[in-house]
A and B are shown apart, each in its own frame.
Chain A
Amino acid sequence: MDAPSPLPPDFSAWFASRGWSVRAHQLALLEEARAGCSTLLVAPTGAGKTLAGFLPSLVELTQRGTERDGLHTLYVSPLKALAVDIARNLETPIREMGLSVKVETRTGDTSPAKRARQIERPPDILLTTPEQLALLVSHRDAKPFFAGLRRVVLDELHALVTSKRGDLLSLDLARLRALAPQMSAVGLSATVREPADLQAYLGGAETPSGLVTVKGGAKAEIGIMATSRRLPLAGHITAHAVGDIYAAIQAHKLTLVFVNTRMQAEFMFQALWSVNEETLPIALHHGSLDAGQRRKVEAAMAAGKLKAVVCTATLDLGIDWGDVDLVVNVGAPKGASRLMQRIGRSNHRMDEPSQALLVPSNRFELLECRAALDAVAEAAQDTPPPRIGALDVLAQHVLGVACSDGFDPDALYEEVLTASPYADLARADFDAVVDFVATGGYALKSYERFAKLRQSKDGLYRASNARVIQQYRMNVGTIVESTMLKVRLGRSRPARPGGQKMLSRGGRMLGELEEYFAETMTTGDTFIFAGEVLRFEGIVENEVVCSRTAAGTDPKIPSYNGGKFPLSTFLAARVRAILASPKEWTKLPDEVSSWLHAQRLKSRLPKPGELLVESFPRAGRFFLVAYPFEGRLAHQTLGMLLTRRLERARLKPLGFVCNDYGIAVWTLGDMAAAIARGSLSLDELFSQDMLGDDLEEWLAESALMKRTFRSCAVIGGLIERRFPGQEKSGRQVTISTDLVYDVLRRHQPDHVLLRAARADAATGLLDIGRLGQMLTRISGRIVHQPLAHVSPLSVSVMLEIGREAVHGEAADEILAEAEAQMLEEAMA
């Protein structure tokens, strides 16, 4: 074939000047774009994905005539920082090839003047985030703005599609396909299990995109860190490995130390500094730190001034900050795909192997690390199944479309069906959502006069007034942060004897804390934050006031609230398989395999598919420990439901704790005796019908369910987000979503927002879906092992007692205890 070279001469020259040759997948994307086809590019880190994504746009833009044609390419990334980073990276080829291509970013930081100018005179390439795209799509000039759009590039698509942000983006993508039918989309993704899901997302439910896959790169070199100190039975702070991690940092150029939560990051940072005899430049990076401080750390990394950074998921995604040559993953990886992503941060080039070390914090986590290593070796992925589009997100989108040009319900319904998460949306549900947006969707039709949407003479639904548009623009997005309180240094001093203590503020701002965490503390409690041990003094308005503590003070408040991510189903199955087959134990360190042998001797190990339940008495209580390995969230829900059932069986449950691997419940009544008598059946205790009435009753008052509802109410636009400063007006004047939840649940249990909240509960904080799968899996396969003592395996779960809040008490029991406490004092 004598087809002309796919690359224009100046591009070829540029590649040659850099000593590169254009890669096959980059050419493939160029071909697909010429044919007007959408394409998913699946490639490992370092394969030149970004350049591949933009190359077709750059070529087209240089080959066009002199006349500007409005926005040509839209790039969407999950992170603002990534968009800014990509803009910087694009500058090099554009400058060196002397292309006349204008690239701009549009983020929350872009000035109003620049935004207005961008609408009037768009750049050729605009880099933005899903939230900003939603705002653009709902703009009254959306139609002319996007009319000439040729291409959309979606970066880190695998990460975007797993959340409600992905739902929102899919709807905006559907809108873009309607506004600019000539547009084609390019998705950039890490390796995923089911690329077909992403192809449907990218191209549309009925018209999936093409696929270009880049294989492999060098295999990562991953190991489990051998530590000189014993691996603890439980706990998540990984204190035993600090010295070894420090040694690894010394031996490398730049190390990223990944942990799962901010609390762990704080702990690890402090622990590393306490052994940092060489005062190596070790920094801390997590989402709660002040943004300015984070930018400083990022700049120092890029400039090669740091030796190590302790970080959380904030550095998970593909920003290229510097020459990382080692990734240390502290704690359990929780998912194989996440681990791959993190490991990819080191040696960010395809041909060099990434170097990584896994550091389990306890023996169960070691099993999990082992399972993850095997999974990575097989390049097995545990990408979650594709989402079913959330109704609250759809409501937000419907309002957005009404704010731009108005919509015809039939046409919008057809359009929404092309967004793959909504491909199976029933018309009745769509109509319910439109009704919700318009007048609240209530059976009682009393809000017609306050309608937010009105049908105009042309039959289109439009926002009924400017305030509705204003409200929409303030509330756009699907990320509902838990309310954050600023943390400030201050001092507490007694004013007069017996008087209220005065809290003086005005000290340095250290960052932000979740309100619910701050609420668990009382004056005098010590905790780790921003790398130091602070004393909690109180909450003043919307700020947490703290003071510094003397060197060597121990933090009193447990700094770990369990992992942020629950153990993936996929890794859980592998951990269960390791437990069930002693042959596998040879791969484990001696202390861990002897722990498992001891368990086999003193109790038993579950066979594949079995659920082991142990019972034993201890300190006047009766304990039941089960090992479902379904993750902390599902276990927490299980615990709530089990205690309800044990209550009904009159066994007087007192509480339960759980971790990712197991759950321990304790009672005043003797459960083992009740099982022996036949008055308690484990099959019934763990039967699937607990997901019926018991669940409904518990959901009525579950704080987690209320939090879930609040987030749906904000996303769906029922209530407005709280903005900084608004809290000052006091709690009694803001409307509490808990009260709204109670009223709505009682009066209209099938309301669209309650349905949205229940759908979230199935996969989110309550993980009911996974609990259901587990109950099915173990049905009829429960083995009970009555014991005289704690078993080796159960120790790891039992040690959570005292570390985690004990659940299971009904509200009235908590209040009764507080009441009794006063009586006791009075009688003494």
Chain B
Amino acid sequence: MTLAAKDTAGVASEAFMLGRLALVPDLSGALYLPDERTLVVADLHLEKGSAYAARGVLLPPYDSAATLRLLGAAILRYQPARVIALGDSFHDRGAEARIDESCLATLRAFQAGRDWLWISGNHDPMISAAMGGTVLDDLDLRGVRLRHEPSPAGALPEIAGHLHPAAKVRMRGRALRRRCFALSPSRCVMPAMGAYAGGLNVRDAAFRPLFGLGFSAHLLGDGRLFRIDQRLLLPD
């Protein structure tokens, strides 16, 4: 059964159940929770470019705008009542001071008329009121815990970010590495949405304690998501 709205055909994949919560992974790397009319995004890393610039690496200063454009398109698609940013929304503590006016205005426009929750992450343990929204450490929705860093010992099914999962596939001599969702019946690790956020291969040891019974990877392709079996995934 496809729970996604009509105009999301192609970019949203089918719904998956995590405990009692239905999840719709989106091509943008966002996760839509139709029962809660909630859009979840992870690891935006806003102002990562300027954080590098402050250290003398003058990366193009367009990453926040690019990330917000992706987020904006997902918001437009699902019209959620609530947006949850799953931590590391800002690359560092100085990000709030560096982010430019037009990006701030975009963010405020996104927040207007809906709930906006910032879950704090290791990169952004403090988020000031100037950024709007509510700041939380974690949150439970229908028996599913949403937090930044996955916890191997958690008793509840869990949606988390932090690890920036990416997967590598090889077919006919060509290797492809893409951001992905890592999904199991009890856990979803979301891809990073930040334009400059790198990816950690799901074959890395960091994922091992999280998926005892295995997982499937949902790779963000160019036109749609692809569900690839764990056995076909290559290490880097």
Contacts and interface: CB of A to CB of B under 8 A. Distances in A.
On whether the two chains bind one another, the answer is yes
B172 A812 contact: no
A290 interface: no
Contacts of B208: 500
B234 interface: yes
Interface string A726-754: 00001111111001101110111001000
B227 interface: yes
Interface residues of B, number: 48
Nearest to B172: A806
Interface stretch (B111-119, B148-156, B181-189, B191-199): B191-199
Given A440-B60, A748-B62, A743 B196 contact: yes
Given A743-B63, A815-B219, A819-B226, A446 B196 contact: no
Contact of B235 (A440, A539, A816): A539
Interface in A746-776: 746-748, 751
Given A732-B199, A810-B222, A538 B235 contact: yes
Contact of B176 (A442, A447, A814): A814
A558 to B, nearest CB: 10
A747 B64 CA distance: 12
A594 B131 CA distance: 78
Contact of A450 (B56, B172, B223): B56
B12 to A, nearest CB: 16
B170 to A, nearest CB: 7
B29 to A, nearest CB: 13
Q: How large is the interface on A (under 10, 10 to 19, 20 to 34, 35 or more residues)?
A: 35 or more
Contact of A520 (B170, B176, B195): B170
A814 B169 contact: yes
A720 B57 CA distance: 8
B60 A735 contact: no
Contact of B228 (A539, A718, A815): A815
A444 interface: yes
Contact of A818 (B54, B169, B223): B169
A73 to B, nearest CB: 37
A440 B58 contact: yes
B220 to A, nearest CB: 10
Interface in B213-236: 219, 221-224, 226-229, 232, 234-236
Contacts of B65: 747
Contact of A452 (B56, B163, B171): B56
Contact of A735 (B50, B198, B219, B229): B198
Nearest to B218: A819
B200 interface: yes
Contacts of A520: 170, 173, 175
Given A446-B50, A812-B223, A739 B62 contact: no
Given A446-B50, A520-B173, 9 more contacts: A442-B58, A442-B61, A444-B61, A719-B59, A732-B198, A743-B62, A809-B172, A809-B174, A812-B223
21 contacts: A440-B58, A440-B60, A444-B100, A446-B61, A450-B58, A522-B170, A719-B59, A731-B198, A731-B199, A736-B196, A736-B198, A742-B195, A743-B63, A743-B195, A807-B174, A809-B172, A814-B176, A815-B221, A816-B226, A818-B171, A822-B228
Interface of B: 50, 52-54, 56-63, 65-66, 98, 100, 163-164, 169-176, 178, 195-201, 208, 219, 221-224, 226-229, 232, 234-236
